[in-house]
Structure 1
Amino acid sequence: MESIATRFQPPAWVVDEAQQRLVLFVNHVLMQEKEAQDRLARKKGSVLHVRGGPFGIDLLITPAGLLDRAPVAVKPDLLISLSADSPALVVQSMLAGKAPPVKIEGDVQLAAELGWLAENLRWDAEEDLSRVVGDIPAHALADAGKRVLAALRQFLAMRPGGPASAVSTVNAGPVNDPKAAT
């Protein structure tokens, strides 16, 4: 049975716009960390192709250590492919704080720099929110987001077949039973 992702083909303009927004977002995150830009600037002119299922994007590293979409028909120096067959597996591993399984081919030094970025570069959503709504609401929203993410991780871990399913138990005693609370 074909997955929905392989059957769904969005219009070219949607793909183009999504890719442009992705590049803008990644550059926004890169600009918050000078070390990340410096590391990428050392590999200026390199092209990487990132593929996830039926979707792919070619990215060019600029002299400023940022990314731009590469011209069509340029041979990539590095190919990164999500090796998970299921998009749900990719999301689950990312929610667990782990990198999704990937297949990497090409420039080893570029792969090492991208590995460093994956381990060390984080988006400070609270900082961006504070510019829009102020510090206190941004902190409250970020805290709520962290709690939702933690609950989602716990839910995924406890589902049948999840890592915690073998050890989780449910206490069927009354809610007001003091013995049930211990």
Structure 2
Amino acid sequence: MLARILNRMLSHDAAAAAALAKYPGRVVRLVLPVLSGTLTIQPDGTFDRATGPAEATITLSPTFFTTWLFDRDAASKKAGLNGDTELAAAVGQVLAGLRWDMAEELSQLVGDVAAHRITWLAGKIGGVPGAIGSRLLIELTEYWRDEAPLVVTKRHVDDFCGGVDTLRDDLARLEARLERLSIKSL
């Protein structure tokens, strides 16, 4: 499904497909909040499902998308690149430049005039409230992380795991000591 969506967008952007065509046969994994997939880059610059292991992985968290609405440079720093980072960065750059032309897609279903009016109305309805909603989501995430800690930070998880490891080691030493004492008392 992910390959079909991306190929649909690539069909409207010959430059992006040409940029991907430089990496035929390479395998990348895209991990998005809703779906993910391992894809092979085809010689024509499209994607196909891959069965083998990925050479590179691009992970985009939900905060990536909310940040992307306001600051694309800051959002690019939130993208996780693993494996062959050069390949992941190149594919990520191509995918970042893709644009979905909603009016073009709708025009095939309802005609040009209706598609234009629908996209105009969607922009009016979703523009300001969508921006306010995404900013509110960012603020709530920061509040829950910093002020009223409902969201756990990496430091807290590391501290907890370290405490569990210390407790496990202490318990193992105590059990060994009790065993030695029980042997001496016999």
Aligned counterpart for 2:135 among listed residues 146, 157, 176:
157
| C-alpha distance in 2 between matches for 1:131 and 1:55 | 26
Aligned counterpart for 2:66 among listed residues 70, 84, 92:
92
RMSD value, Cα:
2.6
Q: For residues 156 and 33 of structure 1, do their structure 2 counterparts lie closer, same or farther at Cα, with a shift above 3 Å needed?
A: closer
Aligned counterpart for 1:138 among listed residues 99, 112, 115:
115
Q: Secondary structure at the match of 1:58?
A: strand
Task: Decide whether the 8 Å contact of 1:95 with 1:149 is kept in 2.
Answer: no
Which structure 2 residue ranges, 5 or more long, are not aligned? 141-186
Equivalent residues in 2 for 1:12-161, closer than 5 Å: 20=1, 22-52=2-32, 56-71=36-51, 74-82=52-60, 84=61, 87=62, 89-96=63-70, 98=72, 99=75, 101-150=78-127, 151-157=129-135, 161=139
Q: Give the deviation of 1:149 after TM superposition.
A: 2.6
Q: Give the deviation of 1:108 after TM superposition.
A: 3.7
Q: For residues 54 and 144 of structure 1, do their structure 2 counterparts lie closer, same or farther at Cα, with a shift above 3 Å needed?
A: closer
| C-alpha distance in 2 between matches for 1:34 and 1:54 | 27
| C-alpha distance in 1 between matches for 2:98 and 2:85 | 19
Worse-superposed segment, 129-138 or 53-62: 53-62
Q: Secondary structure at the match of 2:93?
A: helix
**Normalising to structure 2: TM-score of the pair?**
0.62
**Normalising to structure 1: TM-score of the pair?**
0.63
Q: Give the deviation of 1:160 after TM superposition.
A: 9.1
| C-alpha distance in 1 between matches for 2:35 and 2:99 | 24
| C-alpha distance in 1 between matches for 2:34 and 2:102 | 29
Q: Secondary structure at the match of 2:44?
A: coil
Opposite residue 124 of structure 2, the aligned amino acid is R
1:128-148 per-position Cα deviation (integer Å, ceiling 9, x unaligned): 111211111111111112223
Greater gyration radius? 2
| C-alpha distance in 2 between matches for 1:78 and 1:94 | 22
Q: Secondary structure at the match of 1:122?
A: coil
How many equivalent residue pairs? 136
Q: For residues 106 and 140 of structure 1, do their structure 2 counterparts lie closer, same or farther at Cα, with a shift above 3 Å needed?
A: same
Q: Give the deviation of 1:107 after TM superposition.
A: 2.5
| C-alpha distance in 2 between matches for 1:116 and 1:160 | 24
Alignment partner, residue 154 of structure 2: none
1:131-172 per-position Cα deviation (integer Å, ceiling 9, x unaligned): 21111111111111222331211244357937xxxxxxxxxx
